[in-house]
Each structure stands twice: as C-alpha cells, then as structure tokens.
Structure 1
Amino acid sequence: MIRLAVVSGKGGTGKTMVAAALADISGVPQVLADCDVDAANLALLLAPRQLTTEEFRGMEVARIDPDLCRDCGICADRCRFGAIVRRDDAWTVEPLHCEGCGVCAYVCPMGAVRMEPHVCGEIYTSVTDRGNLAHARLFPGSGNSGLLVTEVKKRAVALSEGADLMLADGPPGIGCPLIATVSGMDAVLVVTEPGISALHDLARLVTVCRRFGVRIFVVINRFDLAEDICREIEDYCAKEGLTVVGKIPFDPAVVAAVRAGRPVTRGDSPAAEALREIRESLFSGLGLI
C-alpha cells in the first residue's frame, strides 16, 4: 500500500480541496485519513457516515483531592505554569494550564495531588462513497495534536484491508502534527500557491520532509494569480530536484464546490481538469497506474 500525505507549508493554499479531489478521482482501492486534527475539514467535502466515536486521552493533568489537601500551598509555589489557583478557599488545578509535568504530585507532602488522564479530543471512523475515513477532533485549547494524528493513522491502517493507497490530508506548517503525519509515509504532495510567504514556507516544509526520506511532489494552486512568483516556485523546485506534478488555475468553480460541500472534480471546470491531469502524473510517479 502506498501512503501519501497532502501537506502545505502554510494554511489557505487549497490543501484539503486537492486531497478531496484526489480521493474523489483516485480510481484505486483506498483508505482516507484526516490528519489535520486541529481543523479537520476533509469530511465536509466527502459526506461521510460516521461509524464509531472514541475518546482521545492525551497527557495526564493534575487533580487535587480536597479531603487530603492541608492547604500548605507548596504545589502552587512549585508550579511553573500557574496551573494551581485559589478558588472557593481551596487549591484547584486549571486543566488548560496544566502541562502534566507532575511536579505538584511529587512535592505534595500529603499525597493530595495525583495525575489523571484527560479527555482532550475524539477519534472517529466513517465510511464514504470513496472509501473508509479515519478522522478526529482535538478540543480547543488541548495539546498532544501530534499524538492524536498518530492515533488517526493507526485507525486508518486498521481500515485499510484491500487498499492500494492511504491518502492523508495533513496539517499546514512544520510543527508536531506535520511531523506525525509525514512519519511512515512513502510520499508527500505539497500544495503551494504563488506568494512570497508560500515560497518561504515551501522551502521550510521541504527541509522537514526530507528528514523522513519521503518522495516529494509539488502542485501549485491558483498559479495564474502571480505568474512571476509561480516561475520562482518552479525554479526553486527544479533547483531542489522536486517534481511539479501540475498547476491549478484560479477557478470560481472551486469556491462553489466547497460551499456545496463536494469535491470540485464532481463537475467540469478548468480546476477540475487540472486536478485530473495532476492525478495522472502523480499516480504514475507513485506506480499506482
């Protein structure tokens, strides 16, 4: 099974639009994963039917037992994150501020503080007319997004029997969620756009992805909005030995399709045609056709 992640160096490049389009027209047995757990949107374009929901427990957080606490305040003095506060004449823990370090439990002379698992998200498995989908939602303010991405990928693998392709919609940027997404993949498709910041972030993303030994392909979205910068991106890719599998023109049909909650490839338009050509070039390079 080929494992492909669609990623981007910055948000707003059209990454999820491209991932949904490729899922729609792949034509091979596949399993899908939405690894952008902070803002999972792939399901919005593929109309999934949800099968299972599972709590995701990330790092532990502290909890103070008021029956054992003797109000000494040592835990609050030692907490470097300001997570232990005074409320209703008692010490309590603010879960959003707790980093799970366990210092408070270590220094408490009465054993009144203990570390407990904290529910910080949900993991879903769903079915679409283009294959099974693993996706998740990280609760606002929660950490451990990289760990949740890893769990999503595990669910996708469990759903992948008979699949020739695992297609993951990755997160933007180069942080922990991106690293968790790219790890173990065979290839990445980087979606960029003709902008100075996009070119800068493309270079950073390529540097990170190369650490994982994955094959790197590039697609330039809305290339005709700034063709001079588009040429700079193409020059950069040529210099770095990166394969540009295609360019997508600016197309109002894309906005209309996203608003309607469907992949743009469900209709005929310049962008849809470009995506079909990208599919041919990309899948040929991956050995899927």
Structure 2
Amino acid sequence: MKEITILSGKGGAGKTSIAAALASLARNAVFCDNDVDAADLHLILKPKIKETHPFDSGSLAFINQEECTNCGTCLEACRFEAIFTNSDGFPEINPYQCEGCLLCERLCPVGTIQTTQNRNNQWFISDTRFGLMVHAKMGPGEENSGKLVTRIREKAKELARENKAQFIINDGPPGIGCTAISSITGTNAVLLVIEPTVSGLHDAKRLVELVNSFKVSIYAIINKHDINLEFTATVARYLIDNNIPLVGKIPFSEMFVECMLSEKSLVEYAPNHPISLNLKTIWEKISKNSIH
C-alpha cells in the first residue's frame, strides 16, 4: 500500500483539481481530504456519507456571571486577551479568541468559570464513484486541525488495509502549517504542485524544506506552465538543482473550471483531451515507476 500526499506551497495552484484527476485514474484506492480547514475535494467527488463522527477541537471557557464576584483575576491573567468587560461591567469570554488553556478556570477564586469541549467539528466516511473517502468539516476558527488530519489519515489507512487498497491518495492543504505537517508525517511520497510565479516558487521552496526534514520523497508538477515560460524554466532548474523529479507540466486551461462546474474531474469531463492524457502519463509515472 502506497500513500501519496498532494501538496502545494500556496493556495490556487491547482492541487485539488489534480488530486481529483488522479483519484479518477487510480484503481483500488482510498481517498482522504487533509485540507480540513477548507475542504473542497468533495465538490468534485460528491461523497455519499456512510458514517459521521464528532471531533473535539479543544476547550472553551464560560463565565457564570450570576456567581462572578468581578474580582478581575481572569482579565489580568488571560494572555490571549479573550476576556473582556461587557456592557454590564462583568468579564465575558470571546469564544473566537479563547485558546482553551484552562488558566482562568484554575485561577478563579470562586470557581465560576467552567470549560467545555468544543464539538463543532465532524469527520466522515463516505462512498464516492471512485472508492471510499475520508473527509472532515471544521467550524470557522476551530483548533486542532492537525490532530484532525492525523485522525482521518489513520482511518484511511485502516480502510485501505481492510479493503486491500493499493493506494491512499491525500489531497493535502496548502502552505506549511500544522495540517501540512500532519499530512507529511509517515506518507510514502509528496506530489508537489507548483505554479510558475515568484510567490509560487517561494512558497514551494518552504514546503520542500519542510518535506525534506521528514525525509519523504518529493515529485513535482508545474501547473499552468505556459502562463510564464521563462519562469517555468526557473522552476525546472530549481527542481533539477534539488534532485526533485519533474513528472509533468500542465498548461493553463479554462476547462478545469468547466469540469468543476460539472462536478467532474478533468479526466472524466474530457477523457481524450491532451491534458487528460498528460495526467494519465503523470499517474503512470507516480504509481508504477516513481515511488518505491
């Protein structure tokens, strides 16, 4: 069983479109959307949910103002400035700034502050037309997204073992944050999607540095390579200098938008289009030759 994680240094590079295309090409695979903060692979794969599970994203504090003595201890102690004085002159907690550290609860001299587990998050096991998918939904501003990625990846591996799947394909998050770190740990290979722009290469370099720290193999695709052929050559030189195999280049095409509006991958929408054939070649390189 091989686990392939598709990542990009920045948003908008085309990572999810490529992940969906590879999902439609893979046989006997389990899919996992690791971009839990802004999941969108489901827009193309249209999963039918089989199981729903809650996820605790952290603790939230609440002040019982009927018992509060207004001593000000919590206001002074909160380093996140999550506690403010409301219009009634009593301390109140802003749930979007509260980090759930429990310090105010511990320091309150009359025990009027209580914390509860925030369960405004869920993860799912679903069927898609290509196979099983594990994905999640987090509320705005929720915490522990990296822990959630770890949880759904564990489940994807469990399902892959049970179903004797040959591949796990992860649509990872952009950037180098906690969710990216959780997506890289223990994967067999990273497929890096790079946009040939200054910011695209800059952010890709940061991501390469992160992936290398985990000693995970990296392969690269330059997406929208024809928007700046000179800079595409610069990206290609960077990949050569850093021993990163370039498995394919994909031109800019409005067809990606058309297929998304049709809720299909490009390979489904136009199977004989040159880009679809290119993606098939890329998948063959990754699945058969590039990952050991």
TM-score range, shorter chain: over 0.9
The residue that corresponds to 2:220 in the other structure is: 218
Please report how far the alpha carbon of residue 115 of structure 1 lies from its aligned counterpart in structure 2 after TM superposition. 2.5
Task: Report whether the alignment pairs 1:273 with 2:274.
Answer: no
Within 5 Å, give how 1:1-289 maps onto structure 2.
Answer: 1-27=1-27, 29-87=28-86, 89=88, 90-160=90-160, 161=162, 162-266=164-268, 267=270, 268-286=272-290
In 2, distance between residues paired with 1:63 and 1:254? Answer: 46
- Give the letter for the 2:133 counterpart: L
Segment of structure 1 superposing worse, 1-10 or 55-64: 55-64
CA distance in 2: counterparts of 1:187 and 1:246, whole angstroms: 16
TM-superposition CA deviations, 1:76-114 (whole Å, max 9, x none): 121122222334634332211101122211211112223
Per the normalisation by structure 1, the TM-score is: 0.94
Q: Please give the alpha-carbon distance, in whole angstroms, between the structure 1 residues aligned to 2:84 and 2:54.
A: 27
- The question of whether the paired residues in 1 share the 8 Å contact of 2:189 and 2:291 is answered with no
**Secondary structure of 1:57's partner?**
coil
Which letter does structure 2 place at the counterpart of 1:132?
A: L
Deviates more, 1:84-93 or 1:233-242: 84-93
SS in 2 for 1:271: helix
Unaligned runs of 5+ in 1: none
Q: Which moved more, 1:157-166 or 1:34-43?
A: 157-166
How far has the Cα of 1:133 moved from its partner? Answer: 0.6
User: By how many angstroms is 1:130 displaced?
Assistant: 1.0
Shift of 1:203: 1.0
> Would the aligned equivalents of 1:31 and 1:159 in 2 still touch at CA under 8 Å?
yes
Contact 1:249 1:270 in 2 (8 A): no
SS class of match (2:116): strand
Q: What amino acid maps onto 1:51 in structure 2? A: K
Aligned mates of 2:241, 2:290 — CA distance in 1: 21
Q: Report Cα offsets for 1:38-96 as digits up to 9, x if no partner.
A: 11111111121111222221121212234542222211121122222334634332211
Q: Which SS does the other structure have where 1:265 is aligned?
A: helix
> Residues 146 and 234 from structure 1, CA distance in 2 versus in 1: closer, same or farther, beyond 3 angstroms?
same
Letter paired with 1:220: I
Deviates more, 1:257-266 or 1:93-102: 93-102
Normalised by the size of structure 2, how large is the TM-score? 0.93
The CA deviation at 1:286 is: 4.3
Answer with 157-166 or 202-211: which moved more: 157-166
Do 1:253 and 1:271's aligned partners in 2 also have CA atoms closer than 8 Å? no
Q: Which runs of 5+ in 2 are unaligned?
A: none
Equivalent position amino acid for 2:216 in 1: V
